[in-house]
Structure 1
């Protein structure tokens, strides 16, 4: 047999297999779609528990042919309004489905990996979405493609079309468009999502003019379903810049906005952290400061947490739903069995010695930095029937906290206030900043709750085994409570005689540039 004959036979075989596969896919498609819709509705109901809102996906019609099918879906969303009446919204999708194992669109891209179906869907216009179509100049504002493998895995992308329109006579929207790529295993046990958006600009001239510009959005998520039905893995949402301008006020610019999270499973324990960052905030082109936060959990028993969440869903969801609909909420009652279950779950959770921590809270200004760290290790008490003070002692196994504030941060606060208030006299601002730095730090030291190391105010606290170490001094819990109450009680805030150390120079108003202040900028005087 010559090469031409081999090629011909191969093509006939592929064609026959493709035809048989397409016919088989057509017979299986209704059941596959119904399973996917049922799974989507289940996950949607879980996500909206307690909100009073409901979500439903329906297959409106399905036309099946040998190699292709056409499906139409309807998304319905109902949510309570402020008046307690439900709001109803519907969105329609048209889906052109190519049957596997070798859909034509994939063959044209030389993608020869067999799949069950290749889906090409787009939004259809209706009363709700017609303005969206008009903004996209008649094009479908939402399109996407996805493939479903014979193993139940799916992958594809969703595209939001660029828009440039005026939703009202006093507002405009310019949107660069957005693309989301996704992959998911069967039943979404493993899910990866990534997406990007270049820009979104919204302006409004109604009443007070407002302009908001967002640039450089990226998002990623790589997660899998853990042993206790928690999704574990990494996720992030980042925005390069956000600029907001209100009225004739200078613009506020925020750079490098980020939310980054990670949840991991070690045996039956969950460990995770989530951070929120503002790289730098600027006002009228001048840098004000940045903020970084990081929260963390360690040693949280996943099965105990899942059981507590299930109890939450069963008992609190009806109350939240009634409140969302403006109806009278049912009483929160626990049966003896439910109370025993909750107690057992809490004991199991605390037996793992879980830790909650604010690992990092750092404010950075042009001339200084302030930071706070707090970590609490919890423990299982002998009994939940103990007196409140003894129960608290046993619940907290260990606590560590540290606060540091550079004195320069106080001066930067004065400079920021002057900037916002429009004070322009540089010499007056610096005089006020220097005065308030010394007065503010002196008053803080006067409480006795902070110490000074170099040019930094700081305070440290350690608690364990019913003993406290505060700013390097050992004391009992009772002594620590007495100390704090004595320093913070009363109108003087614990300043005592220290306030008089400033004599006639003691500040009367720490927050502004009053008309009688010697350091007032000349152009602010009346």
Structure 2
């Protein structure tokens, strides 16, 4: 009897899992159009001159997994020679979707938490990216594995493969990179962790010399949340073990141990503030030790609502300029951008913000120099006189 009960439980659980997985696949298919529409809305908002649109096709829904093809094509608005995608060209992403509540891709990683789906994404070899696949020797430049929870939050692990490429006198060596990103369903919360060990680029300069630039030990980590003012706040750190510029095989500039730490958050009921710290362990120019530097920058009492208004106004006007594209003279563009900044800058003075540098320091074998600054700003509308 005990064996019969055990078998019955397994059969019932298996049937429930199968039914839930089938139903999850059906839900995903029903929302596919909504996802694509949202993506196209983001493209229009942030890349209005890209001239591309996203669509999906060949959705093949199975019992435990489905397959779909996402495609970027020209939207017909840009027919110039410099268009991102010409008519007939396409960039495609192939996705395999393992249905929840227990996607097989997650079970293989011993992740037993229920989730709506697990998605594996690769770039497809199409004529538009043929040159890239020649560099990668037929492999997708990246693979992404994403876990989608039932509330819509997404956790993605993206791997970019190592590359070695040489053409004429130019070359690229890239060790690859990993990127982990957690994004909330409403896009208000983001956590990011990106790493790459080495990238070296070599090419001739204007004087016929061979320039080689090397980045070693890069890491970017951060998290941001949308504040009550509608602007993103959080903590970020960036580290670079070494940057090196060599000319004809001789070291010209070497920068060791560059670090950036940024922390910004809400202050009281209406303000925003934070601190940025830069440190550099060593700077060498043609083998000479130029020393090390650090900078601590503090910003306090920035009015949160005013910062949101400034950001929205400045971005809106900048996007309007970008939409003019090549029709705008570079000098005119620079002038109008400066005027926009000057026009919107007074918005940031509403909270009577303050700025301090404590300190900017440079130190080498001959001594140390420091610079400090305390600057208090006042809202012009509150000033008693001009």
Could you say if the C-alpha distance between residues 47 and 259 of structure 1 is closer, same or farther in structure 2, counting changes exceeding 3 Å? farther
Provide the C-alpha distance between the structure 2 equivalents of 1:373 and 1:42, rounded to a whole number of angstroms: 45
Aligned residue among 265, 270, 292 for 1:290: 292
- Please tell me whether Structure 1 or Structure 2 has the larger radius of gyration of its CA atoms: 1
Aligned residue among 70, 74, 81 for 2:71: 74
Structure number with the higher helix fraction is: 1
Offset at residue 382 of structure 1 (A): 5.2
Provide the C-alpha distance between the structure 1 equivalents of 2:274 and 2:82, rounded to a whole number of angstroms: 38
Provide the C-alpha distance between the structure 2 equivalents of 1:264 and 1:197, rounded to a whole number of angstroms: 28
Provide the C-alpha distance between the structure 2 equivalents of 1:44 and 1:279, rounded to a whole number of angstroms: 40
Please state if 1:255 is matched with 2:256.
Answer: yes
- Paired residues of 2:162 and 2:174 also in contact (CA < 8 A): yes
SS of equivalent residue, structure 2 residue 36: helix
Please state if 1:242 is matched with 2:239.
Answer: no
- TM-score of the superposed pair, with normalisation by structure 2: 0.84
Map Cα deviations across residues 393-419 of structure 1 (whole Å, 9 max, x no partner): xxxxxxxxxxxxxxxxxxxxxxxxxxx
Q: 2:59: which partner in 1? A: 62
Where do 5+ consecutive residues of structure 2 fail to align?
337-342
Q: 1:9: which partner in 2? A: 8
SS of equivalent residue, structure 1 residue 159: strand
Please state if 1:105 is matched with 2:105.
Answer: yes
Map Cα deviations across residues 86-137 of structure 1 (whole Å, 9 max, x no partner): 4314532111111111112222333221111110111111234333323333
Offset at residue 299 of structure 1 (A): 1.0
Please state if 1:362 is matched with 2:361.
Answer: yes
Map Cα deviations across residues 469-502 of structure 1 (whole Å, 9 max, x no partner): xxxxxxxxxxxxxxxxxxxxxxxxxxxxxxxxxx
Structure number with the higher strand fraction is: 2
- Paired residues of 1:179 and 1:197 also in contact (CA < 8 A): yes
- Paired residues of 2:58 and 2:68 also in contact (CA < 8 A): yes
Q: 1:178: which partner in 2? A: 177
Provide the C-alpha distance between the structure 1 equivalents of 2:264 and 2:308, rounded to a whole number of angstroms: 15
Pairing of 1:26-425 with structure 2 (within 5 A): 26-48=25-47, 52-53=49-50, 56-75=53-72, 86-89=82-85, 91-166=91-166, 168-205=167-204, 207-247=208-248, 249-266=250-267, 267-322=269-324, 324-327=325-328, 350-381=349-380, 390-391=385-386
Provide the C-alpha distance between the structure 2 equivalents of 1:304 and 1:382, rounded to a whole number of angstroms: 14
Offset at residue 381 of structure 1 (A): 3.9
Map Cα deviations across residues 365-415 of structure 1 (whole Å, 9 max, x no partner): 22212221222112234568x8xxx42xxxxxxxxxxxxxxxxxxxxxxxx
Provide the C-alpha distance between the structure 2 equivalents of 1:77 and 1:362, rounded to a whole number of angstroms: 51
SS of equivalent residue, structure 1 residue 36: helix
- Paired residues of 1:94 and 1:121 also in contact (CA < 8 A): yes
Could you say if the C-alpha distance between residues 111 and 224 of structure 1 is closer, same or farther in structure 2, counting changes exceeding 3 Å? same
- TM-score of the superposed pair, with normalisation by structure 1: 0.63
- Paired residues of 2:51 and 2:83 also in contact (CA < 8 A): no
SS of equivalent residue, structure 2 residue 376: strand
Where do 5+ consecutive residues of structure 1 fail to align?
333-341, 392-526
Provide the C-alpha distance between the structure 2 equivalents of 1:255 and 1:75, rounded to a whole number of angstroms: 41
Provide the C-alpha distance between the structure 1 equivalents of 2:16 and 2:103, rounded to a whole number of angstroms: 12
Could you say if the C-alpha distance between residues 128 and 245 of structure 1 is closer, same or farther in structure 2, counting changes exceeding 3 Å? farther
- Indicate the RMSD between aligned Cα atoms, in angstroms: 3.1
Offset at residue 31 of structure 1 (A): 3.7
Which shifted more, 68-77 or 184-193? 68-77
Higher relative contact order (CA 8 A, sep 6+): 2
- Paired residues of 1:74 and 1:91 also in contact (CA < 8 A): yes
Provide the C-alpha distance between the structure 2 equivalents of 1:298 and 1:85, rounded to a whole number of angstroms: 48
Provide the C-alpha distance between the structure 1 equivalents of 2:191 and 2:70, rounded to a whole number of angstroms: 24
Provide the C-alpha distance between the structure 2 equivalents of 1:273 and 1:38, rounded to a whole number of angstroms: 38
Could you say if the C-alpha distance between residues 174 and 313 of structure 1 is closer, same or farther in structure 2, counting changes exceeding 3 Å? closer
Provide the C-alpha distance between the structure 1 equivalents of 2:367 and 2:108, rounded to a whole number of angstroms: 60
Offset at residue 53 of structure 1 (A): 4.5
SS of equivalent residue, structure 1 residue 259: strand
Provide the C-alpha distance between the structure 2 equivalents of 1:265 and 1:157, rounded to a whole number of angstroms: 30
